Amino acid sequence: MYLAKFFHRPPGDDDRELMLVPGRDPMVVGVHMNWKGDPDADQFLRKEFSGIADAAAAFRRHVAELVASGYVETDHTNYTLRDLGPGPQAKPDWQKGLDELMILALSAPMPEQARQLDALRGTPAEHEPLYLWHAARRSYSAGDDPAQAVRLAEQARDTLVARRAAKQPHYAWSMYEGDLEGRILELLSDAYLEADNPDASLQTIEHLCKVSPSQDRIVKRAELLCAHFPERREEAFDDAYQWSRFGGFDDIMALPDYAEYVARRKASKSAKGWRWKRGKPASEADIHAAEQALGVRLPDDYRKFLLTRGETELLVRLPESSSELRFYAPRELTTQQRHVFDFIAHSEDELEDACTYFRKEYGVSLRHLIPIAEPSQLSRCLLLHVEPGERYGWCFQWDHDGAWELEQKQPGFDVALKRLTDGIKRREAEQLAFFDL
């Protein structure tokens, strides 16, 4: 995380950037904007500190010194900027107040953060997702009203989602939107658990592990499963087996059942090597809505899969390696199709060229190829062809490294799924390669 402030002083040939860099070795870094000299000499300040509190104090001091020298803090926030452009605008006081709140969250006890939260009430800041997240943190830290913490965290989440949908900006200083959203959802998961709602807590952290996984989030999910969902404990053991080398799973690995799981896993050379995760079956209404958006009827075998398993994962569990094939919910299909189109072609003309190529080379319509599943952490997917005709319902594997190539053609969804699972059971390199195993 880089928290950057930008300063302008007319005539603008000596604009400055000042960065607070938290972490194990926090730093304050100062950069000359519009630098014309040696690229390696653009910094006027670079100092490391033993703790974030000292770094934060130094950061504030350098801000004050720049302002005293006639600089005005501007409303820029992107730490990679190197040119403020003509006529930069001054940053509003309420945004400066949110910046200070973020610094306090990193460096000061909760009572100081609470005073800053109170000071920002009645300003535009109190409607920002960043403010609402900090307010939820304060409530959660107090521990006296779990429902209040849940309400504030949900409001932070919903405000961010609504702003994104309406293409309206939000202010989060130099934090990336995905970073802020992830922190909000982590807190929301904790708040749900404190409010005795483990189902909502698990649903929230599982969503986060899907869209923005990290070691801490995977550990949190595994701990939730072990503590509150004994029927799914083996999923937590799967995570520990796969990710324990990165730390955090000691408590789970100490459970008596885990040793039995490890012995069974290592002896599984003759086992089939895969199983289904409990899914979220789709409804007829869900499928119909997806078909309306796509403009086609989905093949019967795939429709049956959606109605019985829906959004789910095929878990591949070999003695020394693991992977997952995540099947999308019907509502995700159009978005995932757009993502593939955007990767294959960067313009409409290029997309038309690709359509011609796919028709000639594979006998399919590129615009009727629907991504339905992806292996975890890989830019690959399983494609379903839905153009009426001879190859309706055919399946292919696709990899971004060969964006204009289709592989492993199969004449139906059920056939493709059986070919894949049989290949895993027989440890066929051709099928395991789809999972990078």
Distance CA 153, CA 356 (A): 49
For residue 311, give the nearest of 256, 370, 374 by alpha carbon.
374
- What lies within 8 Å, CB to CB, of 37 at 6+ separation is none
Mean pLDDT of 164-192: 94
Q: What is the pLDDT of residue 208?
A: 92
Phi, psi of 26 (to 5 degrees): -65, 150
CATH superfamily of the 284-435 domain: SMI1/KNR4-like (3.40.1580.10)
pLDDT confidence bin for 320, thresholds 50/70/90 = confident
pLDDT tens-digit map of 230-249:
999 999 999 999 889 899 99
Any idea what DSSP says for residue 400?
G
Give start-end residues of each CATH 1.25.40 domain in the chain.
141-270
Backbone angles phi, psi at 289, to 5 degrees: -65, -40
Transcribe 108-124 into DSSP letters: S-HHHHHHHHHHTTTSG
What's the mean pLDDT in 351-374? 94
Closest CA to 217 of 208, 226, 228: 208
Q: 125 with 172: CB under 8 angstroms?
A: no
pTM attached to this predicted model = 0.80
Asked if 431 and 419 touch (Cβ cutoff 8 Å), the reply is: yes
List all residues 6 or more positions away from 392 whose beta carbon is below 8 Å from its beta carbon.
Answer: 299, 385, 386
Residue limits of CATH 2.20.140 in the chain: 3-91
What is the predicted pLDDT for the residue at 12? 75
> What pLDDT is attached to residue 270?
62
Q: Which fold has domain 3-91?
A: q64v53_bacfr protein fold (2.20.140)
pLDDT, residue 437, reads 87
Mean predicted lDDT score pLDDT of the chain: 93
Instruction: Return the structure tokens found at 68.
Output: 């005293």
The HSE-up count of residue 298 (CA atoms within 13 Å, CB side) is: 26
SS3 113: helix
Class of domain 141-270: mainly alpha
Quick one: pLDDT band at residue 49, thresholds 50, 70, 90? very high
Q: Give the full edge-to-edge strand order of the sheet including 27-32.
A: 43-48, 27-32, 16-21, 3-8, 72-73
Q: What is the largest CA-CA distance in the chain?
A: 75
**262-306 residue pLDDT tens:** 988 887 666 788 999 889 999 999 999 999 999 999 999 999 999
Q: Of all residues in the chain, what percent carry a pLDDT higher than 90?
A: 78
